[in-house]
């Protein structure tokens, strides 16, 4: 029994439960399981990733401080590898992964006390130092008490044990004349390098080279006989503790405060390979991303993940390089392209782009196999989020299968919602900046950018051209009426309108779910209900039947659509990966009250959606003005004056709801007129680009421009609002005609 170091309360140990978070702990244990969740620990920055910061908590345990836990943007952190930081342990998972949280206190003096966590006990620093001193004295006494060992006669030594001088002589005789032995390599490594990079003699348990009389009398070993046989990444799980040889491409390089970590990808997967020169110093500095290499090293498990401890690393050239490149390309092409195109349902608009669907699936699968990050950009709408989630659902299992890192799915896949449906220079600059930083800081390859429910009109071309300057590829999957210029600017354009198809009964999710099903056939059943989720009305019967077969009735589909639409609005720049998965796929576990995430969660959120939408609709209806244009009734809503512009629902969603709930049997249109924007419905029967041109001709001083192509909206100068309103009413009749 002791007393709390902060309040003096009698406790078992040194700190009471109520003050455990007021103390900072220094971890001296050896296993993640010895950490105590909830406590704050002193750590050291190990390195950065796209999804957070790796922090060494003590000498033997590393945890992840995910970017979602930070109180600022990851890019704004000024921490460098080796910096001391303070973090909170949130959770220690069954696989040994440690989840860390942000600490607002980043100096030791800001805590009210300090303790040493040995893993078995907590001690005051002075007690821990006393224990260490006692242990040191005990070791010294034991050493003095041991009788001095008798020296062995010289002739008792093993006659075939080579001396350091003999090893050096062997290195001089057989070492490479034109190839440099990596700095930091041992004498044994030098001998190995002279025989083609393989070790000709077996290492003894003590680290010396063992040679028997039989070995001395044997025929000299040829290079071919001595070389390790090549293995593949998918086979190393059963070879922990053995030295293997891998051949493949370097797809990532990152420098930690200790070793340099290379990511090597072959035809079957990727694995991290640690190479140590000295702490924080780049090993094999001439090896870069894109190099084709042969690597030898011992297979180990590091914090539960497979890793190679690199012993030799050689950049392949000429014929050796071409052999590996051909092997990789053949394997990737064979595995990446779907064997056949089997659409989820009979849908003419989707069938019109069967080939493009296959090309998009192939591009995505290739990116996974090449260890290239995938960034999915989609609109912040229900259709955009569901379509993006369809691609995500297909890709994540492949990433987990391909990579040995437990956090690979966060490292190699990211969804970044867009503000609107245009991939403009702002979005492209953000992506280019991120990918250049990732290459500079972590040695990553440039990503594949996948645009979903966005990016198919000529307003996005400038963004694609910026990507192309860095040879970064883009794929577009969009139900909009697309422009030919986009098809020429990207690698693959899945846009049925370019094939002449009628897209009035199409959603981007219907396209994306089909792409996802061909990216990963194992998740096809998970995706079959998603197209039906994305339709606000008039969903094709085939998609409703698919959803029904998967167990989703119309109420369940409606609840998921509405719930995603609401969550898409809030924190619209975030992917909300886990929440969206809970809503669409029921991935969340039941809560303490027994509510299941897939049903009750969607129902609960959709109730909020309906309440907010109905309130806004009631206000909008009371403030509509009606105009008659030929045979068309036009309802005009001043969205600046009569909507809550900075709360849910969005202008576009509100106008869609107003149009869907129209009472008129005759032709009907809705104008949403803001200070500098005009949105028009029905979007599928009005070519907004032609409509905007007609307005511009009538309101010549209004600075009219169309954003988003035929399905977009019109922007203008605020001072010309009334002129634009009158011009729009005049232009509508001719446009509909």
Highest mean pLDDT of the ranges 62-71, 166-175, 447-456: 447-456
Q: Does the residue 173 lie in any domain?
A: no
* Co-location of 196 and 125 in the same domain: no
Give the domain CATH number at 263. Answer: 2.40.50.140
**SS3 of 27-62:** ECCCCHHHCCCCCEEEEEEEEEECCEEEEECCCCCE
Range of the domain at 125: 2-131
Q: Does the residue 404 lie in any domain?
A: yes
* Co-location of 289 and 401 in the same domain: no
Which pLDDT belongs to residue 203? Answer: 34
CB 166 within 8 A of CB 211: no
CB 703 within 8 A of CB 713: no
Give the domain CATH number at 457. Answer: 3.90.1640.30
Choosing from 522, 545, 570, the residue where a domain stops is 522
* Co-location of 506 and 631 in the same domain: no
Which pLDDT belongs to residue 1? Answer: 64
Q: At which residue do the structure tokens 């594949």 appear?
A: 448
Which pLDDT belongs to residue 331? Answer: 83
User: How would you classify residue 198: left for phi > 0, otherwise alpha for psi between -120 and 50, otherwise beta?
Assistant: beta
* Co-location of 58 and 115 in the same domain: yes
**Whose CA is closest to 49, among 305, 313, 413?**
413
Which pLDDT belongs to residue 16? Answer: 87
**Whose CA is closest to 732, among 687, 673, 691, 674?**
691
Confidence class for position 593, pLDDT limits 50, 70, 90: very low
* Co-location of 187 and 122 in the same domain: no
Q: Does the residue 216 lie in any domain?
A: no
CB 114 within 8 A of CB 24: yes
Q: Does the residue 531 lie in any domain?
A: no
Domain count within the chain: 4
Which pLDDT belongs to residue 258? Answer: 84
Q: In this structure, how many other beta carbons lie within 10 angstroms of the beta carbon of residue 322?
A: 12
User: How would you classify residue 411: left for phi > 0, otherwise alpha for psi between -120 and 50, otherwise beta?
Assistant: alpha
**SS3 of 297-325:** EEEEEECCEEEEEEEEEEECCHHHHHHHH
Q: Which tokens sit at 416?
A: 């970044």
* Co-location of 398 and 498 in the same domain: yes
Which pLDDT belongs to residue 185? Answer: 38
Crossing angle of helices 651-660 and 602-622, rounded to 10°: 80
* Co-location of 396 and 301 in the same domain: no
Which pLDDT belongs to residue 186? Answer: 36
Phi/psi of residue 123, each to 5°? -130, 155
CA dihedral 406, 411, 415, 417 (to 10 degrees): 130
Residue 304 or residue 199, greater confidence: 304
| Number of residues in the chain | 737
Q: Which tokens sit at 326?
A: 């051909």
CB 609 within 8 A of CB 564: no
Please determine, for residue 158, whether its predicted confidence score (pLDDT) is greater than 90. Answer: no
Q: What is the mean pLDDT of residues 606-623?
A: 95
Q: Does the residue 209 lie in any domain?
A: no
Please determine, for residue 668, whether its predicted confidence score (pLDDT) is greater than 50. Answer: yes
Q: In this structure, how many other beta carbons lie within 10 angstroms of the beta carbon of residue 14?
A: 19
Which pLDDT belongs to residue 374? Answer: 96
Which pLDDT belongs to residue 319? Answer: 93
Beta bridge partners of residue 634, listed in sequence order: 627, 669
Please determine, for residue 180, whether its predicted confidence score (pLDDT) is greater than 60. Answer: no
Q: Does the residue 37 lie in any domain?
A: yes
Q: Which tokens sit at 691?
A: 């409509």
d(Cα 704, Cα 716) in Å, to the nearest integer? Answer: 5
- For the ranges 153-157, 606-610, 647-651, 706-710, the lowest mean pLDDT is seen at 153-157
Residue 684 or residue 437, greater confidence: 437
Q: Is 652 exposed, middle or buried (0-12, 13-18, 19+ CB in 10 A)?
A: middle
3-state class (DSSP) for residue 601:
helix
Please determine, for residue 191, whether its predicted confidence score (pLDDT) is greater than 80. Answer: no
Q: Is 632 exposed, middle or buried (0-12, 13-18, 19+ CB in 10 A)?
A: middle
SS3 content of the chain, % helix, strand, coil (to 5): 40, 20, 35
Q: Which tokens sit at 631?
A: 């045979």
* Co-location of 261 and 371 in the same domain: no
Which pLDDT belongs to residue 236? Answer: 92
Q: In this structure, how many other beta carbons lie within 10 angstroms of the beta carbon of residue 218?
A: 9
Which pLDDT belongs to residue 524? Answer: 96
Q: Does the residue 655 lie in any domain?
A: yes
Whether omega for the bond prior to residue 427 falls within 30 degrees of 0, making it cis, is no
Q: Read off the pLDDT of residues 268-316 as tens digits, 9 standing for 90 and up.
A: 888 999 999 888 889 999 999 899 999 999 999 877 788 999 999 999 9
3-state class (DSSP) for residue 284:
coil
Mean pLDDT, the chain, rounded, equals 84
Please determine, for residue 150, whether its predicted confidence score (pLDDT) is greater than 60. Answer: no
- For the ranges 475-484, 590-599, 688-697, the lowest mean pLDDT is seen at 590-599
Q: What is the mean pLDDT of residues 704-732?
A: 94
Q: Is 483 exposed, middle or buried (0-12, 13-18, 19+ CB in 10 A)?
A: buried
d(Cα 639, Cα 619) in Å, to the nearest integer? Answer: 11
Q: What is the mean pLDDT of residues 668-685?
A: 92
**Whose CA is closest to 308, among 283, 289, 326?**
283
Q: In this structure, how many other beta carbons lie within 10 angstroms of the beta carbon of residue 588?
A: 16
Q: Is 730 exposed, middle or buried (0-12, 13-18, 19+ CB in 10 A)?
A: middle
* Co-location of 120 and 234 in the same domain: no
* Co-location of 366 and 474 in the same domain: yes
Q: Read off the pLDDT of residues 415-466 as tens digits, 9 standing for 90 and up.
A: 999 989 999 999 999 999 999 998 887 778 899 999 999 999 999 999 999 9
Q: Read off the pLDDT of residues 68-121 as tens digits, 9 standing for 90 and up.
A: 888 788 877 888 888 999 999 999 988 788 999 999 888 888 888 899 998 888
* Co-location of 33 and 115 in the same domain: yes
Confidence class for position 599, pLDDT limits 50, 70, 90: low
* Co-location of 415 and 493 in the same domain: yes
Residue 269 CA: distances (Å) to CA of 235, 251, 299, 635: 10, 11, 15, 58
Give the domain CATH number at 637. Answer: 3.10.310
Q: Does the residue 550 lie in any domain?
A: no
Q: Which tokens sit at 76?
A: 């704004």
d(Cα 512, Cα 392) in Å, to the nearest integer? Answer: 10
- For the ranges 34-48, 81-95, 193-207, 234-248, the lowest mean pLDDT is seen at 193-207
Q: How far is CA 699 from the centre of its chain?
A: 47
End-to-end CA distance of the chain: 89
pTM of the model: 0.63
Q: Read off the pLDDT of residues 323-371 as tens digits, 9 standing for 90 and up.
A: 999 998 888 888 888 989 999 999 999 999 999 999 999 999 999 988 8
**SS3 of 456-480:** CCHHHHHHHHHHHCCCCCEEEECCC
Residue 485 or residue 196, greater confidence: 485
Q: What is the mean pLDDT of residues 690-697?
A: 94
């Amino acid at each position: 029994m002791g007393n709390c170091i902060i309040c003096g309360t009698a406790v078992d140990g040194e700190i009471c439960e109520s003050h455990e978070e007021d103390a900072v702990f220094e971890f001296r244990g050896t296993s993640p399981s010895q950490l105590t969740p909830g406590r704050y620990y002193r750590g050291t920055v190990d390195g950065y990733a796209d999804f957070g910061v790796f922090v060494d908590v003590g000498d033997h345990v590393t945890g992840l401080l995910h970017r979602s836990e930070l109180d600022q943007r990851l890019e704004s952190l000024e921490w460098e590898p080796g910096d001391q930081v303070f973090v909170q342990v949130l959770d220690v998972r069954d696989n040994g992964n440690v989840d860390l949280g942000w600490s607002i206190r980043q100096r030791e003096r800001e805590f009210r006390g300090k303790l040493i966590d040995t893993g078995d006990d907590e001690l005051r620093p002075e007690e821990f130092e006393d224990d260490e001193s006692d242990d040191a004295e005990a070791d010294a006494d034991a050493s003095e008490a041991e009788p001095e060992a008798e020296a062995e006669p010289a002739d008792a030594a093993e006659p075939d044990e080579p001396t350091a001088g003999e090893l050096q002589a062997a290195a001089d005789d057989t070492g490479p004349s034109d190839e440099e032995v990596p700095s930091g390599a041992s004498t044994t490594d030098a001998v190995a390098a002279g025989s083609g990079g393989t070790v000709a003699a077996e290492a003894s348990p003590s680290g010396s080279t063992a040679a028997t009389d039989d070995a001395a009398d044997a025929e000299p070993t040829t290079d071919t006989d001595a070389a390790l046989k090549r293995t593949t990444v998918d086979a190393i799980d059963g070879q922990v503790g053995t030295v293997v040889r891998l051949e493949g491409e370097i797809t990532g390089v990152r420098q930690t405060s200790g070793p340099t970590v290379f990511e090597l990808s072959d035809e079957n997967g990727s694995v991290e390979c640690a190479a140590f020169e000295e702490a924080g110093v780049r090993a094999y500095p001439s090896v870069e991303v894109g190099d084709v290499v042969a690597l030898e090293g011992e297979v180990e498990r590091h914090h539960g993940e497979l890793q190679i401890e690199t012993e030799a690393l050689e950049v392949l050239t000429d014929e050796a390089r071409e052999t590996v490149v051909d092997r990789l390309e053949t394997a990737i092409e064979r595995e990446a392209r779907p064997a056949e195109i089997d659409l989820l349902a009979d849908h003419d608009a989707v069938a019109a782009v069967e080939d493009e669907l296959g090309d998009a699936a192939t591009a995505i699968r290739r990116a996974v196999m090449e260890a290239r990050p995938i960034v999915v950009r989609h609109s912040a709408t229900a259709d955009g989020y569901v379509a993006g989630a369809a691609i995500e659902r297909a890709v994540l299992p492949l990433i987990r299968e391909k990579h040995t890192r437990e956090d690979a799915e966060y490292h190699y896949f990211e969804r970044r919602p867009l503000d609107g449906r245009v991939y403009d220079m702002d979005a492209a600059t953000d992506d280019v900046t991120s990918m250049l930083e990732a290459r500079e800081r972590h040695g990553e390859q440039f990503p594949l950018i996948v645009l979903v429910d966005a990016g198919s009109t000529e307003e996005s071309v400038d963004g694609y051209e910026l990507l192309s300057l860095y040879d970064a590829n883009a794929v577009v999957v969009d139900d909009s009426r697309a422009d030919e210029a986009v098809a020429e600017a990207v690698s693959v354009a899945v846009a049925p309108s370019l094939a002449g198809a009628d897209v009035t009964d199409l959603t981007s999710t219907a396209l994306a779910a089909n792409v996802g099903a061909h990216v990963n056939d194992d998740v096809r059943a998970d995706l079959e209900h998603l197209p039906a989720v994305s339709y606000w009305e008039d969903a094709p019967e085939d998609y409703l039947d698919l959803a029904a077969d998967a167990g989703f009735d119309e109420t369940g589909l409606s609840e998921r659509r509405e719930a995603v639409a609401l969550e898409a609005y809030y924190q619209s720049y975030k992917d909300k990966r886990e929440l969206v998965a809970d809503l669409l796929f029921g991935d969340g576990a039941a809560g303490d009250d027994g509510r299941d995430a897939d049903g009750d969660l969607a129902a609960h959120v959709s109730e909020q959606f309906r309440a907010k939408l109905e309130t806004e609709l009631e206000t909008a209806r009371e403030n509509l003005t009606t105009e008659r244009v030929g045979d068309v009734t036009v309802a005009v809503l001043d969205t600046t004056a009569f909507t809550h512009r900075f709360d849910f629902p969005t202008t576009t969603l509100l106008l869609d709801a107003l149009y869907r709930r129209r009472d008129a049997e005759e032709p009907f249109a809705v104008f949403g007129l803001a200070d500098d924007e005009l949105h028009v419905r029905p979007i599928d029967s009005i070519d907004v680009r032609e409509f905007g041109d007609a307005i511009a001709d009538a309101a010549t001083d209004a600075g009219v421009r169309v954003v988003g192509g035929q399905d977009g909206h019109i922007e203008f100068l605020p001072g010309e609002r009334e002129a634009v309103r009158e011009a729009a009413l005049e232009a509508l009749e001719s446009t509909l005609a």
